[in-house]
Amino acid sequence: DVPALRERFPALDRTVDGLPVAWFDGPGGSQAPASVIAAIAGVLEVGVSNLGGPFGASEFAAELVDGARTAMADFFGVASGEQIAFGQSMTSLTLSVARSLSEGWGPGDEIVLTRLDHDANVSPWLMAAERSGATVRWVDFDPDAGCALDPVESVLSDRTVHLAITHASNAVGTIPDVAAACAAAREVGATTYVDAVHFSAHGVVDAAGIDCDFLAASAYKFHGPHVGVLCLGDRVRDLEPERIRPAPSSAPGSWEPGTASFEALAGVTAAVDYLASLGWGGTRRGRLQTGIGRAAHHTDALAEYFLGSLEDLRHVRLFGPPLGAARTATFALEVEGHTPSEVQGVLADRGIYTWAGHYYALEVMRRLGKLDEGGLLRVGFLHYNTIEEVDRLLDVLEGLR
Together in a domain, 196 and 336: no
User: Can you give the pLDDT at residue 323?
Assistant: 87
Burial of 236-274, coded b for 16+ CB within 10 Å and e otherwise, reads beebebebeeeeeeebbbbbbeeebbbbbbbbbbbbbbb
What would the mean pLDDT of 309-338 be, rounded to a whole number? 97
Indicate whether 27 and 44 sit together in one domain.
Answer: no
Half-sphere exposure of 8 (CA within 13 A, CB side): 18
Q: Are residues 324 and 253 part of one domain?
A: no
**What tens digit of pLDDT does each residue of 227-279 get?**
999 999 999 999 999 999 999 999 999 999 999 999 999 999 999 999 999 99
Condensed to tens digits (0 to 9), the pLDDT of residues 209-226 reads: 999 999 999 999 999 999
pLDDT confidence of residue 60: 98
Per-residue pLDDT tens for 360-398? 999 999 999 999 999 999 999 999 999 999 999 999 999
Q: Are residues 58 and 206 in the same domain?
A: yes
User: Residue 1's pLDDT is what?
Assistant: 87
Give the end of a domain, one of 276, 296, 316. Answer: 276
Q: What is the pLDDT of residue 22?
A: 99
Instruction: Burial-class residue 393 by CB neighbours within 10 Å (0-12, 13-18, 19+).
Output: buried
Instruction: Examine the domain organization and report whether 230 and 192 are in the same domain.
Output: yes
Clarify whether residues 93 and 220 are in a common domain. Answer: yes
Q: pLDDT tens-digit profile of 280-306?
A: 999 999 999 999 999 999 999 999 999
pLDDT (tens digit per residue) in 128-163:
999 999 999 999 999 998 999 999 999 999 999 999
Query: How large is the greatest C-alpha to C-alpha distance in the chain, in angstroms?
Result: 67
Q: Using the Cα atoms of residue 291, residue 292, residue 298 and residue 301 in order, give the sign of their dihedral.
A: negative
What does the pLDDT average to over 11-27? 98
Could you tell me if 43 and 17 lie in one domain? no
CB 4 within 8 A of CB 33: no
Q: What is the CATH number of the domain that holds 294?
A: 3.90.1150.10
Residue-wise DSSP of 115-131: TTS-GGGTHHHHHHHHH
Is the same domain home to 20 and 169? no
User: Cβ distance 214 to 230 under 8 Å?
Assistant: yes
Q: Identify the CATH number of the domain in which residue 169 sits.
A: 3.40.640.10
Instruction: State whether 129 and 112 are in the same domain.
Output: yes
Number of domains in the chain: 2
Q: What is the pLDDT of residue 353?
A: 99
Question: Would the pLDDT of 36 be above 90?
Answer: yes
∠ at Cα 366 (364, 372), nearest 5°? 125
The predicted pLDDT at position 321 comes to 97
Q: Which of 241, 276, 311 is the last residue of a domain?
A: 276
Interval 298-327 mean pLDDT? 97
- Mean pLDDT in residue range 66-85: 99
Tell me which of 227, 253, 276 is where a domain ends.
276
Q: State the residue range of the domain holding 313.
A: 2-33+285-398
Q: How far is CA 214 from the centre of its chain?
A: 14
The per-residue pLDDT for range 100-127, each reduced to its tens digit, is 999 999 999 999 999 999 999 999 999 9
Spell out the residues 6+ positions from residue 225 whose beta carbon is closer than 8 angstroms to its own.
Answer: 32, 36, 40, 219, 261, 264, 267, 268, 271
Residues 168 and 149 in one domain: yes
The string over 207-227, giving b where at least 16 C-beta atoms fall within 10 Å of a residue's C-beta and e elsewhere, is bbebebbbbbbbbbbbbbbeb
Does 257 lie in the same domain as 191? yes
Q: Quick one: 188 and 337 in the same domain?
A: no
Tell me the H-state helices in 7-89: 34-46, 56-76
Residues 24, 246: Cα–Cα separation, whole Å: 44
